[in-house]
Amino acid sequence: MLLKFFKRPLPRVLVVNMLIGLLLWLKGIVITSTALVDYGAYPMPLFRLITFLVGDNFLVSKLVTLLLVAIIGLYLIQVNTRHMLLRQRTYLPALFYILLASASLPLQTINPAVFAALLMVGAIDNLFLANSSNHHLDNLFKAGFLVSLATLFYLPSAIMLIVLFFSIVILNLNGIRPWLSTIFGFVTPWFFVVFYCYFFYDDIDGVLRDVLLAVNALKVSFFFSGIVYRVFYGFLAILLLVGGLYLLISLPTQKILIRKHNTILVWIMVWFGLVAVFPLFRSSEIQYLIAIPISFLFSNFFSMVKSRFWGEALFLTLLVLVVVAQVFVP
């Protein structure tokens, strides 16, 4: 009956989702030593500014990150409502994002990927608007602009530019102007960063040094070790397989525009999955980005699964494993 409750688009369900997020972060807030990954030295300029403002206050850093996770979850609900990615209104995308983003205790601290994830949702929102708006060039510019801002927090976000190019083809946006709008949007923030470094510090090479340092920073395994995390990741792999097959089967019955949007989400998941295991960028915090398309994939499966038993069983298992990861991981 838990799944039936969380599928309902009711205010009390949203409140429970937020409370679940708070409870999952409670141990990390109380025990500051659980932040096993130090992101303070990550060199990208906007994240460096954030760490300067937050300082060494562990409590503030955790609360800021938790707030961002909650905002991203709410934004995913808005994206679903606006673009009808799922066949029914539900708060499941927010719940799954909160669960996936909060499952790994070592990541419950301020990090560059969570800021990039918020900007990434905005880019996805504008990308989907490009096919249903009369101002699609403006939407593509905004999508490229937001992706570029995300890279100034977290460099691996740049892979999203490839997804934008794929999306122009998938959405059948003809002509060269969509491509130019996307490229100009992406270039604009970096232009201002280079201009700022040159005008105020006469140091354009500093931007290149930051990029090179970011490539070599934070070589943390994507998968945290330990039996609890291995079981959790293994179960996620099973859910991804089942949810992916279910999506493939349901695609022909969806409207053309919804089919295109879901195809784009799959490409986002694939590309960020490749980045997650690529040696140059392999790092655990990218889970905040991969969790975005996965949240919609899981929401699609659990909102439409016909077997009540299997739906409830898989959903309950996911909840239990997330809780176990909080309790039994030091």
- Cα gap 177→173, rounded to integer Å: 9
Mean pLDDT (whole number) for 119-141: 88
Concatenating the DSSP letter of every residue in 139-204 gives: HHHHHHHHHHHHHHH-GGGGGHHHHHHHHHHHTT--SSHHHHHHHHHHHHHHHHHHHHHHHHHS-T
The mean pLDDT of the chain is: 85
Q: What is the model's pTM?
A: 0.92
pLDDT the model gives residue 330? 57
Q: Percent helix, strand and coil across the chain, each rounded to 5?
A: 80, 0, 20
pLDDT the model gives residue 186? 96
5, containing H or E segment? helix 2-6
Mean pLDDT (whole number) for 68-84: 94
Band of residue 224 on the pLDDT scale cut at 50, 70, 90: low
Asked if residues 60 and 88 have their Cβ atoms less than 8 Å apart, the reply is: no
Amino acid at 24: L
- Cα gap 217→205, rounded to integer Å: 18
Lowest pLDDT segment from 71-85, 127-141, 271-285? 271-285
More confident residue, 124 or 83: 124
More confident residue, 281 or 233: 233
- Cα gap 39→48, rounded to integer Å: 10
To 5 degrees, how large is the angle CA 219–CA 223–CA 224? 90
Q: In the block, which residue shows the tokens 């090479």?
A: 205
CA distances to 10, 216, 217, 282, 286 from 221, rounded to whole Å, are 39, 13, 12, 6, 11
Q: How many other C-beta atoms lie within 10 A of the C-beta of residue 76?
A: 27
Whether 205 shows a pLDDT value over 80: the answer reads no
| Nearest Cα residue to 261 out of 209, 300, 222 | 300
Asked if residues 84 and 254 have their Cβ atoms less than 8 Å apart, the reply is: no
Rg (CA), the chain: 20
pLDDT the model gives residue 34? 47
Contacts of 101 (CB under 8 A, 6+ apart): 69, 72, 107, 114, 117, 287, 288, 291
Cα dihedral 233→286→218→68 (10° resolution): -110
Lowest pLDDT segment from 76-80, 179-183, 239-243, 323-327? 323-327
- Cα gap 14→95, rounded to integer Å: 8
CA distances to 41, 235, 291, 293 from 314, rounded to whole Å, are 39, 9, 18, 19
